[in-house]
Amino acid sequence: MGIVVQKYGGTSVGNPERIKRVAKRIIECRKAGNMVVAVVSALGDTTDKLIELAKQITDSPPEREMDMLLSTGEQVSIALLAMAIKSMGWDVISLTGAQVGILTNNVHTKAKIIEVSCERLKKELNEGKIVIVAGFQGVTCDNEITTLGRGGSDTTAVAVAAALKADVCEIYTDVDGVYTTDPRMIPEARKLDVITYDEMLEMASLGAGVLQPRAVEFAKLNNVVLHVRSSFNYNEGTIVKGEKEVSDSGIHREKEMVVTGVAYDLNTARIGLFDVPDKPGIAKKIFTALAEKNINVDMIIQGATRNGRTDISFTVAEDDADKALEVMKEIVEEIGISGVSCDKDVAKVSIVGAGMITNPGVAAAMFQALADENINVQMISTSEIKVSCIINKKDTEKAVKSIHKKFNLEGN
Amino acid sequence: MGIVVQKYGGTSVGNPERIKRVAKRIIECRKAGNMVVAVVSALGDTTDKLIELAKQITDSPPEREMDMLLSTGEQVSIALLAMAIKSMGWDVISLTGAQVGILTNNVHTKAKIIEVSCERLKKELNEGKIVIVAGFQGVTCDNEITTLGRGGSDTTAVAVAAALKADVCEIYTDVDGVYTTDPRMIPEARKLDVITYDEMLEMASLGAGVLQPRAVEFAKLNNVVLHVRSSFNYNEGTIVKGEKEVSDSGIHREKEMVVTGVAYDLNTARIGLFDVPDKPGIAKKIFTALAEKNINVDMIIQGATRNGRTDISFTVAEDDADKALEVMKEIVEEIGISGVSCDKDVAKVSIVGAGMITNPGVAAAMFQALADENINVQMISTSEIKVSCIINKKDTEKAVKSIHKKFNLEGN
ipTM metric: 0.82
Q: Are the C-beta atoms of B399 and B373 separated by less than 8 Å?
A: yes
CA-nearest residue to A70 within chain B is B76
- Is the pLDDT reported for residue A250 higher than 50? yes
Which chain B residues have a beta carbon less than 8 Å from that of A46? none
Which chain A residues have a beta carbon less than 8 Å from that of B50? 76
Between chain A and chain B, the number of residue pairs with CB atoms below 8 A apart is 109
- Is the pLDDT reported for residue B256 higher than 60? no
B60 close contact with A: CB closer than 8 A: yes
Residue A166's H or E segment, with its range, is none
Q: Which pLDDT band holds residue B301 (cuts at 50, 70, 90)?
A: confident
Question: Mean pLDDT across the stretch B199-225?
Answer: 84
Q: Which of A70, A26, A28 is nearest to A49 (CA)?
A: A70
CA–CA min distance A86, chain B (Å): 8
B93 close contact with A: CB closer than 8 A: yes
B358 close contact with A: CB closer than 8 A: no
A200 close contact with B: CB closer than 8 A: no
Q: Indicate if the alpha-carbon torsion angle B355, B356, B358, B363 is positive or negative.
A: positive
Q: Is A33 left (phi over 0), alpha (psi -120 to 50) or beta?
A: left
B96 close contact with A: CB closer than 8 A: yes
Domain that holds residue A65: 2-250
Q: Give the mutation candidate from B21, B47, B65, B87 for the A interface (greatest A CB count, under 10 A).
A: B65
Residues A171, B249: Cα–Cα separation, whole Å: 67
Other residues' Cβ atoms within 10 Å of the Cβ of residue A310: 18
Which chain B residues have a beta carbon less than 8 Å from that of A144? 99
B143 to A99: CB separation less than 8 angstroms, yes or no: yes
By mean pLDDT, which of A138-142, A272-276, B261-265, B382-386 is the weakest? B382-386
Least CB-CB distance to B80: which of A54, A94, A143? A54
Least CB-CB distance to A65: which of B57, B83, B144? B83
Beta strands in A2-57 (DSSP E): 2-8, 34-40
Q: Which residues partner with A195 through β-bridges?
A: A240
A69 to B75: CB separation less than 8 angstroms, yes or no: yes
CA-nearest residue to A14 within chain B is B53
A20 to B83: CB separation less than 8 angstroms, yes or no: no
A57 to B98: CB separation less than 8 angstroms, yes or no: no
CA B334 to chain centre: 37
- Is the pLDDT reported for residue A340 higher than 60? yes
B75 to A53: CB separation less than 8 angstroms, yes or no: no
pLDDT score at B281: 84
Higher pLDDT, A310 or A17: A17
Question: Which one of A168-177, A257-266, A384-393, B29-38 scores highest in mean pLDDT?
Answer: B29-38
Residue B373's H or E segment, with its range, is none
CA distances from A2 to A34, A93, A352, B226 (A): 5, 19, 33, 57
Which chain A residues have a beta carbon less than 8 Å from that of B94? 65, 68
Q: Give the mutation candidate from A68, A136, A145 for the B interface (greatest B CB count, under 10 A).
A: A68
pLDDT score at B308: 85
B57 to A143: CB separation less than 8 angstroms, yes or no: no
Least CB-CB distance to B65: which of A50, A53, A94? A94
Question: Mean pLDDT across the stretch B353-377?
Answer: 87
- Is the pLDDT reported for residue A103 higher than 70? yes
Residues A92, A203: Cα–Cα separation, whole Å: 36
Q: Which of A145, A163, A22 is nearest to A81 (CA)?
A: A22
pLDDT tens per residue, range A38-51:
999 999 889 999 99
CA-nearest residue to A13 within chain B is B57
Q: Is A282 inside a domain boundary?
A: no
B98 close contact with A: CB closer than 8 A: yes
Which chain B residues have a beta carbon less than 8 Å from that of A64? 93
pLDDT score at B251: 47
Question: Mean pLDDT across the stretch B231-249?
Answer: 85
Least CB-CB distance to B83: which of A20, A57, A80? A57
Other residues' Cβ atoms within 10 Å of the Cβ of residue B255: 7
Which chain B residues have a beta carbon less than 8 Å from that of A82? 62, 65, 68
A69 to B87: CB separation less than 8 angstroms, yes or no: no
Residue A120's H or E segment, with its range, is helix A119-126
Other residues' Cβ atoms within 10 Å of the Cβ of residue B237: 23
Q: Is A128 inside a domain boundary?
A: yes
A99 close contact with B: CB closer than 8 A: yes
Residues A136, A132: Cα–Cα separation, whole Å: 13
Total count of domains within chain B: 1
Q: Indicate if the alpha-carbon torsion angle B57, B63, B64, B68 is positive or negative.
A: positive
CA-nearest residue to B72 within chain A is A72
Q: Is A109 inside a domain boundary?
A: yes
Give φ, ψ of B319 to 5 degrees: -65, -25
pLDDT score at A337: 87
Which chain B residues have a beta carbon less than 8 Å from that of A60? 87
pLDDT score at A381: 87
Q: Is B148 inside a domain boundary?
A: yes
Q: Is B359 inside a domain boundary?
A: no
Q: Which pLDDT band holds residue B129 (cuts at 50, 70, 90)?
A: very high
A50 to B76: CB separation less than 8 angstroms, yes or no: yes
A53 to B76: CB separation less than 8 angstroms, yes or no: yes
pLDDT tens per residue, range B50-87:
999 999 999 999 999 999 999 999 999 999 999 999 99
Q: Is B266 left (phi over 0), alpha (psi -120 to 50) or beta?
A: alpha
Other residues' Cβ atoms within 10 Å of the Cβ of residue A327: 19
Higher pLDDT, A374 or A174: A374
pLDDT score at B78: 98
Least CB-CB distance to B80: which of A53, A83, A143? A53
Q: Is A259 inside a domain boundary?
A: no
pLDDT tens per residue, range A311-328:
899 999 998 999 999 999
A21 close contact with B: CB closer than 8 A: no
Q: What is the dihedral of CA B386, B391, B396, B402, to 10 degrees?
A: -60
Amino acid at A375: I
B76 to A145: CB separation less than 8 angstroms, yes or no: no
Least CB-CB distance to A62: which of B56, B86, B145? B86
- Is the pLDDT reported for residue B259 higher than 70? yes
B75 to A72: CB separation less than 8 angstroms, yes or no: yes
Q: Is B392 inside a domain boundary?
A: no
Q: Are the C-beta atoms of A243 and A201 separated by less than 8 Å?
A: no
Q: Which pLDDT band holds residue B231 (cuts at 50, 70, 90)?
A: confident
Higher pLDDT, B391 or A360: B391
CA–CA min distance B58, chain A (Å): 6
Which chain A residues have a beta carbon less than 8 Å from that of B99? 143-144
Question: Mean pLDDT across the stretch B331-354?
Answer: 90
Crossing angle for the helix pair B152-164 and B119-126, nearest 10 degrees? 70
Q: Are the C-beta atoms of A103 and A114 separated by less than 8 Å?
A: yes
- Is the pLDDT reported for residue A254 higher than 70? no
Q: Which pLDDT band holds residue B168 (cuts at 50, 70, 90)?
A: very high
Crossing angle for the helix pair A46-57 and A63-87, nearest 10 degrees? 150
pLDDT tens per residue, range A193-210:
999 999 998 887 665 567
Amino acid at A174: D
Q: 136-165 in A: which are within 8 Å (CB) of B?
A: 143-145
A57 to B143: CB separation less than 8 angstroms, yes or no: no
Q: Is B144 inside a domain boundary?
A: yes
Q: Give the mutation candidate from A49, A58, A130 for the B interface (greatest B CB count, under 10 A).
A: A58
Question: Which one of A116-125, B186-195, B360-369 scores highest in mean pLDDT?
Answer: A116-125
CA–CA min distance A211, chain B (Å): 28
A58 close contact with B: CB closer than 8 A: yes
Other residues' Cβ atoms within 10 Å of the Cβ of residue B98: 24
Question: Mean pLDDT across the stretch B242-249?
Answer: 75
pLDDT score at A256: 55
- Is the pLDDT reported for residue A363 higher than 70? yes
By mean pLDDT, which of A17-31, A90-104, A202-216, A377-391 is the weakest? A202-216
CA-nearest residue to A82 within chain B is B65
pTM: 0.83
Least CB-CB distance to A65: which of B56, B57, B79? B79
CATH number of the CATH domain containing B11: 3.40.1160.10
For chain B, the average pLDDT equals 90
